[in-house]
Amino acid sequence: MSNALAMALPRVEDQDLIDRIIGDQAGRPGALLGILEKLQDANRHKYLPMESLEYVALRTGVPQSQVYGVATFYALFNLDPQGTHTVAICRGTACHTRGSRALLERVKLQLGLEESGTADKLTLTTPDRKFTVRTVACFGQCALAPVVEIDHAIRGHVKEQALIREVDLLRKEAAR
Amino acid sequence: MDKVKIGTCWLDGCSGCHMSLLDVDESIVTILRKADIVYGPLVDAQEWPEGTDVAIIEGAVSSQDDRELVQTARARSKYLIALGDCAVTGNVPSMRNGIAVRKLLERVYVEGADVSAGIPTDGVPPLLRQAEPLRQTVKVDLHVPGCPPRPNAILMVLSELLEGREPDLGSKLRFG
Amino acid sequence: MVEKVKVRIDGEVIAATAGQTILEVARANSKYIPALCYMEGLSATGACRLCVVEVSGVARLVPACTTPVAEGQSVVTSTPQIESYRKIALELLFAERNHVCAVCVSSGHCELQALAQEHGVTHVRYPYSCPRLPVDTTHPRYVLDHNRCILCGRCVRTCAEIEGAHVWDVAGRGIGSHLVSELQRPWGEATTCTSCGKCVQACPTGAMAEKGWAVEEMTKHKTVVSRLTSMREGS
Amino acid sequence: MTTKTTPKPQAEASAARKLTIHPVSRIEGHAKITIRLDEQGQVADTQFHVTQVRGFEKFVEGRPYYEMPSITARICGICPVSHLLASSKACDSIMAVRIPPAAAKARELLHMAQFVQSHALSFFHLSAPDLLLGMDYDPAKRNVAGLLEEHPDALRDGIALRKFGQTLIERLGKERIHPSWTVPGGVNNPIDPSVRDKTLAELPSAVAIVERTLAMWKAAVEGFPAEVESFSNFPTMYCGNVGPDGSLRLYDGNLRFVGPDGAIVADQVAATDYATYVAEATLPHSYLKAPYFRPVGFPGGVYRVGPLARLNVADRTGTPLADAELAEYRQRYGRIVQSGFHYHYARLIEALHGLERIGELLDDPEILGTRVRAHAGVNNNEGIGVIEAPRGTLIHHYKVDDNGAMTWANLIVATGHNNLAIGRGVEQVAKRFVHGSKIEEGALNRVSALVRAYDPCLSCSTHVLGQAAVVLQLEGPDGEILDEIGTV
């Protein structure tokens, strides 16, 4: 056990961070959610590395499988590094009928993202970690369909050309 | 009284259900006295005849030929039986369903060939994306599960139908 | 202080102890209610919905495994409506994954297969989703075939509550839910697994099996969990 | 619901034509035959299409190897036992075990029961209508129902013989079809003495059926000179398993290849060396691949398997009654029998041999031995199992990872080996019987009967993914379809 643990430990400074976060939350029921949220927030690539999850399990005494279950249940948590910019495309009913699927395909093409997701949640990140494209079940802004969220700002009535321009702009910005 | 007209065929299956039908042994003689087999692997009819009373179909719907044959059988028969797990659930043939047809064919005919590799297309029907139970293509009047259904179950079904009664399978049969 | 209550199950008046569930009382009195996710000796989760029953004064069907008995309660365990719901639940379990009973290690000894037969499920009325799922063969003694998992959680609870290792849990959600060992590690690399095999014995289908047994050969020792629980209570 | 009917364009005066037989009836699976006629109405060329493919080699990847016997049994419901056994042998080799002697005998007993039932099915249920009622008999009655009217005794014999085999399979493995008794490492239960006693009591009447049928066949075959002359009557190589002494071996043994003249080309080829001699080609018109003799190359390396080939390859059968029949057979047709029509005769001799082996195995006290299974994990990452299925040599070849998950599989089935020979045979028989613009039903039936003589198991053949019925299509030189008999 000790051997496997040694291999999987996060870096010392991350351990300190996790210890601090856990300390803050200690004793609260349902503390795990808050711990994971803070941990992801503190991560440069906005995700939960496996080593961190394992360390959280060790420190909190929550079984690893349960930590993993919580981290994968909520769409909020990412298990893979996220891009600098996030494009979230809604695939709720209203957006779907207004062509959100075409928007998704167009952006994937633009960013050279090929694989297609089959599960209910799709998240794709470019190899250079500049962009993450994901789908969202519904933003609750159906009147504005199709809706796309770019870096946490909601855009309504999105047209293909406008979306391409915007992503292009971010790409050039990122390149500088 | 006119003899009951029975047509049988197998689609994507192993013929085991037809063999189980023959496993009624001497009782096949009794069946032959009350029914005419108007289509099937045991007779020479080249076309599924109009006015068939009972169609007994084994196997999943897996190729364009399968689909056309089962549709013809349905259109020309009063009562259609899905015989055995492949026809009822997709069973073993459906184990290919998660795999792209092209990958499957390439594995067999390109990787698996020492000379003249290539996917056959001349005079052979295209494969459907998935091997599916009959009820996803046509209306099925009776499902007889089992791999294969036991001979006495098949005999019971046929005897009831030949007597003009609807067979009641109750809890007699199971998948597998 | 043990409080006694009187309930009526399928017309028969039965004395029970407050806190017992309808399922426990029914089974203790030889009344049959089917169930898949329930297992004697484990906590109840009400996940499979096969044990739904009618309770007087309650408009909807309730799961017998998580509903406590109450004084004056009248329970009906089987009606055409209940049976039709049970059938739907079973069919949906089949439609979700690739059970292929014919070539399953548990065929002939499978609770799902037997319940389907018992309820006259001759076919599934929903399209099969046919997901492509892996088989975890990494453990030296056991195998996990996700194709045959119904997410009943009996392995999860057995491992957590009886063995105390909590190797297993359910990850993801909705149609993407799946059984996971530790942090999605291959079973054979799970450091907390004691290889006790109780999860395998608790599994109602062929999802978990001992390695090396061919098709139809995997029979399970279902009472291992309840025996352990009662022995511990007795000590 | 709409029904698609096959279009039947009318023949124009000049053109040559294509004829399609679809389905090829009374065979175990789905095939289609295309015959192209030239402008004089003579057969220009033919194609034998197997029209289904199922993908076993691909979808078994990732499954634990010990599930393979039962999964591959679902390739074929006529000879599931062949697949169970070839697969079990491949698994034995992955486990690196030598199975207990009682288990080996038990498996062979199961295999012989299958030979008897499968040969009975091929001869009586599928081919006897041609042989007893005649190739030109009313097609509506040229089947088991017609046999019931005209030759009820023969039909009853067929049913009884098949039942004998199926009953023995059921007694041994609990199920007649897809028994799960045979497992990696042996079998999962010893044989109960009552099985032996009941079977031995029934054996003489089964032997009597085959002897009666052989006598009938020897008289009947005289009535088919044109068929004997034209049913794949050409030189090929032959392949089958033989023992160290050159005698017929159906469960074990090593491969022997002989040339058209009977000269041994390769002998005592172990299962592990099959690929030195057997390679596979894809045919653009069929879902069934075409194996060929690798040292000769494609498409020249045509060899045949199955009853006719086995009796050509083996020096003797090794059982007295069958050896006596074999001597007479060779006296009639020579040491190497070439016409595909004689597959029927060879099949009957093998059925007799199978029954004799059942008697021998049941008389062996070891058959009731209770040590019948070896247990082991993965000790080889590769395993090959070879067996003689009723239709010919069957090869299962697996690769697994260290955990026992399948990473690769190749299955070469009996009908595959015969694919090239059937294709050439179709051409020969079509050239002999099909002439002119109008296709006679009897001609069509002879083309189908040639296919039937090989007893092709197209369920097996199409494990890769396909299906065969026979459509006979008459096609002009420019490809238009002039006449078509059969349905899709």
Domain boundary among A42, A73, A104: A73
Chains with 3 or more CB pairs under 8 A to chain C: A, B, D
Same domain, A56 and A136: no
State how many domains chain A has: 2
Q: What is the pLDDT of residue B156?
A: 96
Task: Establish if A79 belongs to a structural domain.
Answer: no
C229 and B CB contact within 8 Å: no
pLDDT of residue D43: 86
pLDDT at D349 exceeding the cut of 50 = yes
* Run of H or E including A86: strand A85-90
Residues of C with CB under 8 A from a CB of A: 131, 156, 160, 165-176, 180-184, 191-192
Using CB atoms, which residue from C98, C102, C119 is nearest to B85?
C102
> In this predicted structure, what is the pLDDT of residue D479?
59
The answer as to whether A44 is a domain residue is yes
Degrees to nearest 5, angle at CA D59 with D57 and D62: 105
| pLDDT of the residue at D39 | 78
Q: How far is C113 from chain D (nearest CA, A)?
A: 18
Q: Is B174 on the interface with C (CB under 8 A)?
A: yes
Residue C235: predicted pLDDT: 57
Query: Please, which contacts does D405-408 make with residues 24 or more away whose CB atoms are closer than 8 Å?
Result: D405/C135, D405/C137, D405/D62, D405/D63, D405/D64, D405/D65, D406/D60, D406/D61, D406/D62, D406/D63, D406/D64, D406/D65, D406/D68, D407/D61, D408/D57, D408/D61
Q: Give the per-residue pLDDT at D477.
A: 57
Residues of chain D contacting B48 with CB distance shorter than 8 Å: 487
At D357-398, the pLDDT tens digits run: 999 999 999 999 999 999 999 999 999 999 999 999 999 999
A117 in contact with C, Cβ within 8 Å: no
Domain finish residue from A73, A95, A120: A73
Give the neighbours of chain D: at least 3 Cβ pairs within 8 Å.
B, C
Q: How confident is the model at residue D473 (pLDDT cuts 50, 70, 90)?
A: low
Mark yes or no for CB contact B46/D59 under 8 Å: no
Q: Which residues in chain C (92-111) have CB-CB distances under 8 A to chain B? A: 94, 98-104, 107-108
**Which residues of chain B are under the pLDDT cut of 50?**
none
Predicted pLDDT of residue D203: 98
Q: Does D331 touch chain C (CB under 8 A)?
A: no
Residues A167 and A93 in one domain: yes
pLDDT score, position D466: 28
Calculate mean pLDDT across residues A140-163.
93
Q: How far is CA C124 from CA C88, C221, D394, in A?
A: 9, 29, 36
Provide the percentage of residues in chain A whose pLDDT is more than 70. 89
Give the residue numbers in C contacting D (CB under 8 Å), as ranges.
Answer: 102-103, 105, 134-135, 137-138, 140, 143, 188, 211-217
Q: Kindly report, residue by residue over C7-46, the tens digit of the pLDDT.
A: 999 999 999 999 999 999 999 999 999 999 999 999 999 9
What's the confidence (pLDDT) of residue D451?
A: 83
Report the C-alpha gap between B122 and D34 in whole angstroms. Answer: 11
D40-55 tens-digit pLDDT:
778 888 888 887 778 8
How much is the mean pLDDT over chain D?
88
Name chain D contacts of C134, Cβ cutoff 8 Å. 62
CB contact under 8 A, B44 and D142: yes
What part of B 114-143 touches C (C-beta under 8 Å)? Answer: 130, 132-133, 135-136, 140, 143
D1 pLDDT higher than 50: no
Ranking D42-56, D217-231, D307-321, D446-460 by mean pLDDT, the lowest is D446-460
Same domain for A65 and A20 = yes
Strand partners of residue D187: D182
User: Do A14 and A68 share a domain, yes or no?
Assistant: yes
- Cβ–Cβ contacts within 10 Å for residue D150, how many? 15
Mean of the per-residue pLDDT values of chain C: 95
CB contact under 8 Å between C182 and A53, yes or no, is no
Nearest CB to D69 within list C138, C143, C214: C214
D2 pLDDT tier (thresholds 50, 70, 90): very low
Give the domain range for residue A125. 85-175
**Residue A21 neighbours by CB distance under 10 Å:** 21
Asked whether the beta carbons of D416 and D29 are under 8 A apart, the reply is no
Residues 120-139 in A contacting C (C-alpha not used; CB under 8 Å): 120-121
Q: Is the pLDDT of residue D484 over 70?
A: no
Is D196 an interface residue toward B (CB < 8 Å)? no
Last residue of a domain, one of A43, A73, A103: A73
C-beta atoms of D70 and C135 within 8 A? no
- pLDDT number for residue D33: 83
Q: Supply the pLDDT for residue D113.
A: 98
Higher confidence at residue C160 or residue D286?
C160
> pLDDT by residue (tens digit) across D324-338?
999 999 999 999 999
Residue C90 contacts B, CB cutoff 8 Å: no
- pLDDT computed for residue A3 by the predictor: 40
Q: Which fold has domain C101-234?
A: Alpha-Beta Plaits (3.30.70)
Quick check: do C and A touch, 3+ CB pairs under 8 A? yes
The CATH label, of 3.10.20.740, 2.60.40.10, 2.40.160.210, 3.40.50.620, for the domain at C4-78 is 3.10.20.740
Chain B from 157 to 176: CB within 8 A of any D CB: none
Distance from CA of A123 to the nearest CA of C (A): 14
The residue ranking higher by pLDDT, D31 or D7, is D31
Q: Find where tokens 């009723």 sit.
A: D390
Q: Which residue of D has its CA nearest to C216?
A: D180
Whether residue A54 lies inside any domain: the answer is yes
Pinpoint the residues of chain C covered by CATH 3.10.20.740. 4-78
- Is B20 at the interface with chain C, CB within 8 A? no
CB contact under 8 A, A72 and C172: yes
The arithmetic mean of pLDDT across residues D202-208, rounded, is 98
> Which of C113, C131, C132 is opposite residue B174, by nearest beta carbon?
C113
Task: Say what the pLDDT of residue D14 is.
Answer: 37
* Choice between B34 and D462, residue whose per-residue pLDDT is larger: B34
Q: Is residue A62 part of a domain?
A: yes
For domain B4-96+130-162, the CATH architecture is: 3-Layer(aba) Sandwich (3.40)
Asked if C133's CB is within 8 angstroms of B169's CB, the reply is: no
**Nearest CB partner across the interface for C180, out of A57, A65, A118:** A65
Give D288-316 pLDDT, tens digit per residue.
899 999 999 999 999 999 999 999 999 99
Instruction: Establish how many alpha carbons lie within 13 A of residue D7's alpha carbon, considering only the half-sphere containing its beta carbon.
Output: 6
Residue C113: per-residue pLDDT: 98
Residue of C nearest to A78 (CA): C172
Q: Answer yes or no: do A113 and A65 share one domain.
A: no
Residue A122 pLDDT greater than 90, yes or no: no
Residues B59-90 as b/e (b if ≥16 CB within 10 A, e otherwise) read bbbbbbbbbbbbbbbbbbbebbbbbbbbbbbb
The residue in chain D having the minimum alpha-carbon distance to the alpha carbon of residue B72 is D3
Delimit the CATH 3.30.70.20 region(s) of chain C: 101-234
Q: Please write the tens of the pLDDT for every residue from A23-73.
A: 877 667 789 999 999 999 999 899 999 999 999 999 999 999 999 999 999
Q: Which residues of C touch A5 (CB under 8 A)?
A: 191
What is the band of D28 on the pLDDT scale with cuts at 50, 70, 90? low
Residue of A nearest to C173 (CA): A73
